[in-house]
Chains A and B, each alone.
Chain A
Amino acid sequence: MIGFQTLLKKEILRFWKVAFQTVAAPILTSMLYLLIFAHVMAGSNAAFEGVSYEQFLIPGLAMMTMLQNAFANSSSSLIQSKITGNILFILLPPLTPWNYYGAYVLAALVRGLAVGAGVFLVGVFLAHIPIHNMAWILVFALFGSAMMAALGIIAGLWADKFDQIAAFQNFIIMPLTFLSGVFYSIHSLPTFWQNLSHLNPFFYMIDGFRYGFFGKSDVSVWLSLAVTAGAFFCLSVATLHLLKSGYKLRQ
């Protein structure tokens, strides 16, 4: 247990020591999105009845930033350690695959939640954001961030250079999160794009998270929960399997 706690502490300190880059910068980026989109879209039709565009946008942005940062935390930590060689320090001790999994996922969760809370706090100054059900908000924040943390571990294990992680982030994570209904309700899309959005797991995370604020969503919140929890479970099994086999860590 001490080994796990130590690795968790080290992983949290790793991003906290550069909090300007890992926490403050994504909050600032989200704030810029918020200001620009809220200005451009001012007066446009709200996605849900009785919900302004700013109100609609803020939870989605908070969730998107949480997901991106949870992924960035575990993936960047692993690839940095692999490339600099200091991964050795955690491979030599008697840590178990569960220790690695738990510490990397929880540290990513902490960063994701810190950034998400920051975006939310900034949003509170710009618009009134109702809270319909705190439990749904937390469930989606936790499952969504943990899922992305697990995906980050897989990407960090798989990648051999920073370039590959950047490609993973820019060509997979970024498009899927941007096209997940953060900036619009999928009901505003043509049928083809609506159907395509249903294949994007990030859509369910954003939609379910937003349900916690407004009590309204594009699809059933239970379906969103099933997709989010299912993705988390499947990626966790895959992550633990890779860690147990020593994939790209132990030859």
Chain B
Amino acid sequence: MVYAIDVANVEKKYGSFTALAGVSLQVEEGEFFALLGPNGAGKTTLISTLAGLTHPSAGTLKVMGHDVVSHYREARKALGIVPQEIVFDPFFSVRETLQFQAGYFGIARTAQLDSWIDELLAKLSLTDKADKNMRQLSGGMKRRVLVAQALVHRPPVIVLDEPTAGVDVELRQTLWSFIRELNTKGHTILLTTHYLEEAQQLCSRIAMMKLGKIVALDTTDHLLSAFSERVLRVKLAGELPQPLASQRIKQEGKAENCWHYFSIHDYNEVEVLLCRLREAGAVITNLEVTEPELEEVFVKIMNQNDSSVGHAT
């Protein structure tokens, strides 16, 4: 089977510092995959190695079956990268920037290319900026141009390295709607982000990195169910009846402002628990159901000492 991204035992050392310590992961074609981790975990080093910007010290990396070292031309054609840093060429306009980028990938200037560039500009709300010099664009607009540059050669695999850092809400929604559309059309997406709710909403599988290693690799659902839980919290007019105290997982606040927390696996348990509270004489003044959150999973995994969680595919 040909993976969109296939990373096997990759190490990267800078002198005595180990940036990647034997990373292995596979991303299937059409997946929306998240690569998460704190700053310095090795995410960007892994992406740079995949893009050929960094030479691996050991191991192999393939994009759509092409080795990034021995068959770098095929591998790079298959890859579109949105870098973390905002960079631009101050000599050129938005349209020229995109035309050059397509040309570097061997795409001739045709009506088809021009219409694809127009489509990209429209999807990323840049049409009215097409002939503006890059220097005249705001930070958010420059980031959108970086996205367009990564897509201009229609790569099957798209890597987004923190694409929404410092981007306003409207643009974020536009961007994700476009990336989702590309994913629906079969493009594989690898995303790194510090906005964990984005990863939770978009990605079907997640890898978490810490100190150059993969410490968790599983489907989003599995990670959420294994490390986080759905919680029902209630406020009562009086004390929590004794028979239910043993079921409570924690409490916050005091007296009438006290929240009592109960773990639930599915919504049927909510009704059962509420019945038991009423039967025990409790008067409920407020209630909330909290969904599992990736942030909680992330914090738990990062605080663990063991080296790996979940199962690799």
Contact = CB atoms under 8 A, between A and B. Distances in A.
B154 to A, nearest CB: 13
Contacts of A6: 100, 103-104
Interface string B92-111: 10001100110111111000
B72 interface: yes
A57 B104 CA distance: 42
Interface of B: 14, 48, 51-55, 72-74, 76-77, 79, 81, 83, 85, 87-92, 96-97, 100-101, 103-108, 149, 153
Interface in A192-251: 246, 250-251
A3 B104 contact: yes
Given A17-B91, A84-B87, A89 B101 contact: yes
A17 B96 CA distance: 13
B86 to A, nearest CB: 9
B72 A94 contact: yes
Contacts of B89: 81, 84, 86, 89
Contacts of B106: 1-3, 94
A177 B103 CA distance: 37
Contact of B105 (A14, A17, A81, A94): A94
Contact of A5 (B51, B85, B92, B103): B103
Interface in A77-106: 81, 84-86, 88-96
Contact of A88 (B55, B79, B87, B96): B87
Contact of A89 (B54, B76, B85, B104): B104
A17 B90 CA distance: 11
Given A85-B85, A86-B88, A86-B89, A10 B55 contact: no
19 contacts: A2-B107, A3-B106, A6-B100, A7-B103, A18-B91, A85-B87, A86-B87, A86-B88, A88-B83, A89-B89, A89-B149, A92-B76, A93-B76, A93-B101, A93-B104, A94-B73, A94-B74, A94-B77, A94-B105
A180 to B, nearest CB: 32
Contacts of B73: 94, 96
A90 B89 CA distance: 11
B91 A13 contact: yes
Contact of B81 (A1, A92, A251): A92
B144 to A, nearest CB: 15
Given A94-B72, A246-B55, A251-B55, A7 B104 contact: yes
Given A86-B89, A89-B104, A94 B76 contact: yes
A91 B104 CA distance: 10
Contacts of B77: 94
Given A6-B103, A95-B104, 5 more contacts: A14-B91, A84-B87, A89-B149, A92-B79, A251-B54
Interface residues of A, number: 28
Nearest to A90: B104
The interface centre, meaning the residue of A88, A90, A93 with most chain B CB atoms within 10 A of its CB, is A93
Contact of A3 (B87, B96, B105): B105
B53 A250 contact: yes
The interface centre, meaning the residue of A18, A81, A85, A96 with most chain B CB atoms within 10 A of its CB, is A85
Contacts of B100: 6, 9-10, 89
A11 B267 CA distance: 63
Contacts of A5: 103
Nearest to A7: B104
Nearest to A14: B91
A2 B99 CA distance: 12
A178 to B, nearest CB: 31
Contacts of A18: 91
B103 A2 contact: yes
A144 B88 CA distance: 32
Interface string A1-32: 11101110110011001100000000000000
A147 B92 CA distance: 28
Given A10-B100, A14-B91, A93 B53 contact: no
Contacts of B87: 84-86, 88-89
B4 to A, nearest CB: 17
B108 to A, nearest CB: 6
Contacts of B96: 13
A1 B73 CA distance: 13
Contacts of B52: 91-92, 250
